Amino acid sequence: VADPIKMRRIVKTGAIVVADHATQAEWYQQAAAAEGVMVDILVDCDVGDHRTGAGSTEQVLEIAQTIGRSPNLRLRGLQAYSVLGSHAGGRPERERVSREVFERAAAIRDAMSRGGFSTEILTGGSTGTWEIDTLVPALTELQAGSYVFMDMAYRREGLDFKPALTVLATVVSANHQAFVTVDGGFKAFSTDRGYGPEASHLISGEPLAGTKYRWGGDEFGYVDLESTGHKLKLGDRIEFIPPHCDPTANLYDRIYACRGEHVEAVWPLKRQIL
Ligand SMILES: Cc1ncc(COP(=O)(O)O)c(C=O)c1O
């Protein structure tokens, strides 16, 4: 976050914030002072992604010093998150990326420690590397998010958490033997992964193994049935596992939390928290 107005909102929440530049730490100090609060803060380190993060140990120490001089900030440690590791493609590759990430992170942590700075938190990792990173002694917090919902991307990585998030679509045309048309297309599922969703099962629970989804446009998709033995009819309701959970959830205003056939709760989604 690099907007003083947003920072004033964040510091009021009690969340731990991150900074990858001394100026950002100064802005957090100003926001915290203006709101009259103490804020826990981590130094965000670039451990290989080059997305965010301080690029060198020297920069990390400079940020730590700035935080040390800030009366409303409390330095708690460092963030070493790598999105590259989460979907690196197969466990050996994920292990390789993770090893490099935490070698870098441990070296930075040791330098912070030698400088007299707090390193009680070293946070990083993801759903994709949970089995690997939880064995890393340096890690104090795993940043797993997607495991709550799961999605096809992580299933393709071989993770076996049960999918909890599905998108319900309806068969709106069933005039062909080989396929049916459903009312779920680009507007219903994330499109960033290059592949469509998986038709998992009918709302009755009957699995739809072997079927294949094809994009059919903004509002439509096809479910290919050929040689699967499945027969779908007009009005059938299908639960789809989305390609990628985060940008799919972002398309909706609410989630229906179901147990069996019963809707137990309706959770509103706040898409613009900041
Ligand atoms: C900084 C950070 N931490 C944790 C996560 C969660 O990763 P996953 O959903 O792959 O578990 C993300 C995902 O976007 C992230 O950007």
pLDDT recorded at residue 100: 95
Q: For the stretch 87-112, what's the b/e string if a residue is b when 16 or more beta carbons lie within 10 angstroms of its beta carbon?
A: bbeeeeebbebbeebbebbbebbebb
pLDDT recorded at residue 223: 98
Residue 235 burial class via C-beta count within 10 angstroms: exposed 0-12, middle 13-18, buried 19 and up: exposed
Report d(CA 193, CA 178) in Å as an integer. 26
Backbone angle region of 14, left / alpha / beta, with phi > 0 → left and psi within -120 to 50 → alpha:
left
Is the Cβ atom of 166 under 6 angstroms away from ligand 1? Answer: no
pLDDT recorded at residue 89: 87
Report d(CA 187, CA 219) in Å as an integer. 6
Report d(CA 95, CA 59) in Å as an integer. 27
pLDDT recorded at residue 272: 58
Ligand 1 pocket test: which of 51, 78, 81 has the largest number of ligand atoms within 8 Å of its C-beta?
81
pLDDT recorded at residue 225: 96
Read off the pLDDT of residues 169-181 as tens digits, 9 standing for 90 and up.
999 999 999 999 9
How far, in Å, is the centroid of ligand 1 from the Cα of 139?
15
Give the DSSP per-residue string, 39-105: EEEEEEB-SS--SSSBSSHHHHHHHHHHHHT-TTEEEEEEEE--HHHHTSSSHHHHHHHHHHHHHHH
Average pLDDT, 10 consecutive residues per value, the chain (274 residues): 96 97 98 98 96 97 98 98 91 94 97 98 97 95 96 94 97 97 98 96 94 98 94 97 96 94 92 58
3-state secondary structure of 34: helix
How far, in Å, is the centroid of ligand 1 from the Cα of 144?
6
Side chain identity, residue 143: Q
Read off the pLDDT of residues 157-207 as tens digits, 9 standing for 90 and up.
999 899 999 999 999 999 999 999 999 999 999 999 999 999 999 999 999
pLDDT recorded at residue 261: 83
Element spanning 245, H or E: helix 245-249
pLDDT recorded at residue 260: 83
Strand partners, 142: 124
Is the Cβ atom of 250 under 6 angstroms away from ligand 1? Answer: no
Q: Which ligand 1 atom is the nearest neighbour of the CA of 127?
A: 11
CA angle 241, 246, 252 (to 5 degrees): 80
Is the Cβ atom of 123 under 6 angstroms away from ligand 1? Answer: no
Is the entire prediction scored with pTM above 0.75? yes
3-state secondary structure of 180: strand
pLDDT recorded at residue 171: 98
Residue 180 burial class via C-beta count within 10 angstroms: exposed 0-12, middle 13-18, buried 19 and up: buried
Q: What is the mean pLDDT of the chain?
A: 95
pLDDT recorded at residue 202: 96
pLDDT recorded at residue 135: 95
